[in-house]
Amino acid sequence: MGGLARGGPIKVSARLIVLDANLANWRAARERRRRLERELSCFVTPAEQRDLLATLDRYPDSATCELRELLARRATRNRVQPWPAIRPVDPHRK
């Protein structure tokens, strides 16, 4: 009936326990990331963001990679770059 655990099949109840634990871990990690994103949202101005990045530079990448990823994702999400083909037409342009 599926995978083996120490030489025997895994019972359905054990699979459900593992699934439930994995879901709980995923939910906790998602909530932690959301809380971190809310805390990072207070750094609004370019000067505040530069100060934050300067502070992060003092720590190893292994300790700051998640923060940098969230900051980069927020920066790309907030950047609006219109497509050239959708740009409004200038009636005075020849």
% of the chain with per-residue pLDDT over 90: 43
pLDDT of residue 24: 96
- Of 58, 77, 78, 64, which Cα lies nearest the Cα of 36? 64
pLDDT of residue 74: 84
- Average pLDDT for 43-65: 90
Q: Is the pTM of this model over 0.85?
A: no
The two tokens of residue 44 are 């609004």
pLDDT of residue 1: 47
The two tokens of residue 89 are 């037409």
pLDDT digits (tens, 9 = 90+) for 11-50: 899 999 999 999 999 999 999 999 999 999 898 888 998 8
